[in-house]
Structure 1
Amino acid sequence: MSAIGSTSAATGPTDWVTERFGVQITGDPDARWELSDLLILGLRRNRRRAHLLVSTVLGKHIPTPPEQVRGAADALGDAVIGVLGAQDGARSTVIGFAETATGLGHCVAERISAQVYLHSTRRQVGDAQVHGTFEEGHSHATTHLLQPSDAALLRIDPGAPLVLVDDEISTGSTAIRAISALHALAPRDRYVVASLVDMRTDAHRAESERFAAEVGVRIDHVSLAQGEITLPDSLVDDVWALTAPELNPVGRRGSVTEVTLDWPADLPDGGRHGFLRTDTAAFHAAVTAAAGQLAPALAADRDVVVLGHEELMYLPLCLAERLSAAGVATRYQTTTRSPAHVRDEAGYPLRRGFTFTAPESDPGTPRFVYNVRAADAPADAPLPQVVLVIDSPADTDLLRADGGVLDVLTAAGHDVCVAIVPATTPTALAGRTLPLETEGVV
Structure 2
Amino acid sequence: MTIMVDDTRVVTLESGTLTLKIQNDASIDELCGFAARANPKRGFLIVSKVLGRHLPAAPAAMRGSMDQLGAMLPADIPQPVAFLGMAETATALGQGVFAAYRRNNPDVSALYLQTSRQRVDGSTIIATFEEGHSHATSHLVQIADEQLIALARSARTLVIIDDECSTGHTFIGGAEAMMAALPNLERIETCCLTDWSGQAYCTAMPLPTTGHAILRGAMNWEKNPDQVPPQLASTSNGVGTAPATGMGSRSGLLDPECAYRAPVEPKAGERILVLGDGEHSYEALLIAEEIEAKGGIAAVQCITRTPALLGHAMETVSHFDDAYGSGAPCHLYNILGHQPDRIIITAEIAGEQIRQAKAAVAALGKDIPIEMVLCAYHSAEEK
Residue 132 of structure 2 corresponds to residue 137 of structure 1: yes
Deviation at 1:42, TM superposition (A): 1.1
Per the alignment, residue 126 of structure 1 pairs with: 121
Per the alignment, residue 253 of structure 2 pairs with: 275
Counterparts in 2 of 1:68-87, with a 5 A limit?
Answer: 68-80=61-73, 84=74, 86-87=75-76
Residue 43 of structure 2 corresponds to residue 50 of structure 1: yes
Which AA in structure 2 matches 1:111? A
Which AA in structure 2 matches 1:8? D
- Counterpart Cα distance in 2 of 1:37 and 1:321: 20
Deviation at 1:15, TM superposition (A): 5.6
| 1:330-350 alpha-carbon deviations (Å, 9 max, x no partner) | 10111100111113xxxx211
Taking a change above 3 Å as real, the CA distance of residues 299 and 320 of structure 1, as seen in their structure-2 partners, is same
Counterparts in 2 of 1:31-430, with a 5 A limit?
Answer: 31=25, 33-80=26-73, 84=74, 86-88=75-77, 91-113=80-102, 115-150=110-145, 152-156=147-151, 158=154, 160-187=156-183, 188-201=185-198, 205=200, 207-212=201-206, 217-234=207-224, 238=227, 240=229, 269-277=247-255, 280=256, 283=257, 290=261, 293-295=263-265, 302-343=270-311, 348-363=312-327, 365-374=328-337, 383-392=340-349, 395-396=350-351, 398-399=352-353, 404-409=356-361, 412=364, 413-424=367-378, 428=382
Taking a change above 3 Å as real, the CA distance of residues 132 and 159 of structure 1, as seen in their structure-2 partners, is closer
| 1:50-99 alpha-carbon deviations (Å, 9 max, x no partner) | 1000001101100111010000111011112xxx2x24387422110000
Per the alignment, residue 241 of structure 2 pairs with: none
Which AA in structure 1 matches 2:7? S
The question of whether the paired residues in 2 share the 8 Å contact of 1:390 and 1:418 is answered with: yes
- Counterpart Cα distance in 1 of 2:273 and 2:144: 32
- Over aligned residue pairs, what C-alpha RMSD do you find? 2.8
Taking a change above 3 Å as real, the CA distance of residues 210 and 368 of structure 1, as seen in their structure-2 partners, is closer
Which AA in structure 2 matches 1:310? G
Deviates more, 1:349-358 or 1:302-311: 349-358
Q: How many residues align?
A: 355
| 1:405-425 alpha-carbon deviations (Å, 9 max, x no partner) | 454345543321111112547
Taking a change above 3 Å as real, the CA distance of residues 410 and 421 of structure 1, as seen in their structure-2 partners, is farther
| 1:205-262 alpha-carbon deviations (Å, 9 max, x no partner) | 1x541443xxxx2111111111122211326x52748xxxxxxxxxxxxxxxxxxxxx
| 1:228 counterpart SS class | strand
- Counterpart Cα distance in 1 of 2:204 and 2:41: 25
Greater share of helix: 1
> What TM-score results when the alignment is normalised by the length of structure 2?
0.83
Identity %: 26
Deviation at 1:36, TM superposition (A): 3.4
- Counterpart Cα distance in 2 of 1:342 and 1:101: 22
> What TM-score results when the alignment is normalised by the length of structure 1?
0.73
| 1:386 counterpart SS class | strand
Per the alignment, residue 246 of structure 1 pairs with: none
Gaps of 5+ in 1: 1-6, 242-264, 378-382, 430-442
Deviation at 1:26, TM superposition (A): 1.5
Greater share of strand: 2
Gaps of 5+ in 2: 1-5, 103-107, 231-243
| 1:417 counterpart SS class | strand
Which AA in structure 1 matches 2:209? I
| 1:93 counterpart SS class | strand
Deviation at 1:145, TM superposition (A): 0.5
The question of whether the paired residues in 1 share the 8 Å contact of 2:12 and 2:18 is answered with: no
Deviation at 1:39, TM superposition (A): 1.1
Q: Which has the larger radius of gyration?
A: 1
- Counterpart Cα distance in 2 of 1:69 and 1:36: 15
| 1:11-30 alpha-carbon deviations (Å, 9 max, x no partner) | xxx76639x943221110x3
| 1:156 counterpart SS class | helix
- Counterpart Cα distance in 2 of 1:409 and 1:353: 11
Which AA in structure 2 matches 1:419? V
